[in-house]
Amino acid sequence: MKVGDSSVRRRIVAFSNPTIRLLRGLRDKRQRQREGRFLVEGLRLIEDARAGGRLPEMLVVAQNRAHPPLLAEIEAAVAAAGGEVIETSAEILAKIAGKDNPQAVCGVYAQWETGLAALDPGSARLWLVAQAMRDPGNLGTILRTGDAVGAGGLILIDDCADPFSAEAVRASMGAIFSQRVARARWPDFLGWLRGQDSQGRQPRKSGQLVAASLRDAVPYRGAPYASPCFILVGNESRGLPVAYEAACDLRVTMPMRGRADSLNAAIAAAVLAYEVVASFDG
């Protein structure tokens, strides 16, 4: 295959260009949602995405830079798939990325379906569920942990940070492309978890919902985890609402030997997830 051909590139160096304006807008959550697109910075993540079967609709590369051969290969793949390759200045790339030293390449991807209906709870032994989590870095870290433990995906309840934000994508280290992500309201999530259809009948097995909690909890080590297990972690400062904890099948507690009474949410999710996986593997 012939690579290194930069003829597929369209050159844009005007800040006022509508495409550039659109790209800059993708740093804003509302605009990302309106456009149904998101931005991924850096060749490594773009290559991860390609390995997972996803190509950007648009690739933006810095002009006058020595690029690795891999980039030319990805450019060719994007063009062959009907996508667009844009070459622009370092200044404009910095504006798009919103930082002084941007990566030399970024990609624009279509967001995907994030409804629960498409997910089968029984397709994985373990799922992660975040409620009102506000830190996109935490969300991304949880996605990365989910990938490592072989989770089915991440389900976002209530008003969470945007998993398609640059910070979440970066912290996920590519797991945004391998983990499934769904957004749901709490009652809809519970119905789905319990295997109920829209008439309230239960055609399939219920998942087990587990919360890290201080109320009515058993030690997390050796607790009776059951597949498919859903680990629920709450908001960074408020934790889970009492009613949500009460709806869980299992409340587990982790030793706290210091002055603090809680762990970072992504840390708690990871320690629990590794415990659940170990208990399943016997």
The pattern of x and - marking residues 125 through 144 that bind its own copies according to CB under 8 A reads ------------x---x--x
Region of 22-30, 73-81, 204-212, 267-275 interacting with its own copies (CB under 8 A): 267-275
The pattern of x and - marking residues 82 through 121 that bind its own copies according to CB under 8 A reads ----------------------------------------
- Residue 240: closest CA among 157, 163, 183, 184: 157
Question: What CA–CA distance (Å, rounded) separates 73 from 61?
Answer: 13
92 or 130: CB nearest its own copies: 130
Beta strand 105-110 with 58-62 is antiparallel
Tell me how far, at minimum, the Cβ of 45 lies from its own copies, in Å: 11
Tell me how far, at minimum, the Cβ of 153 lies from its own copies, in Å: 11
Q: Compute, in degrees rounded to 10, the torsion defined by CA atoms 20, 21, 22, 25.
A: 120
Beta strand 208-212 with 218-219 is unpaired
CA 37 to chain centre: 14
Question: What CA–CA distance (Å, rounded) separates 153 from 155?
Answer: 7
88 or 234: CB nearest its own copies: 234
Cα dist from 173 to 106, 234, 236, whole Å: 15, 22, 21
- Residue 194: closest CA among 184, 183, 203: 203
User: Is residue 217 near its own copies by the rule CB under 8 A?
Assistant: no
Residues that bind its own copies (rule: CB under 8 A) add up to a total of 38
User: Is residue 255 near its own copies by the rule CB under 8 A?
Assistant: yes
Tokens of 74: 């990805």
The pattern of x and - marking residues 171 through 210 that bind its own copies according to CB under 8 A reads x-xxx--xx-------------------------------
Residue listed under structure tokens 């769904």: 182
User: Is residue 52 near its own copies by the rule CB under 8 A?
Assistant: yes
CB-CB contact of 206 with 194 (8 Å): yes
- By CB under 8 A, the residues from 220 to 239 that bind its own copies are 221
Among 56, 102, 146, 228, binds its own copies (CB under 8 A): 146
Tell me how far, at minimum, the Cβ of 237 lies from its own copies, in Å: 10
In degrees, rounded to 5, the angle at the alpha carbon of residue 60 between the alpha carbons of residues 81 and 88 is: 135
Amino acid at 63: Q
Residue ranges in contact with its own copies by CB under 8 A: 48, 51-52, 137, 141, 144-150, 171, 173-175, 178-179, 221, 254-260, 262-264, 266-267, 270-271, 274-275, 277-278, 281
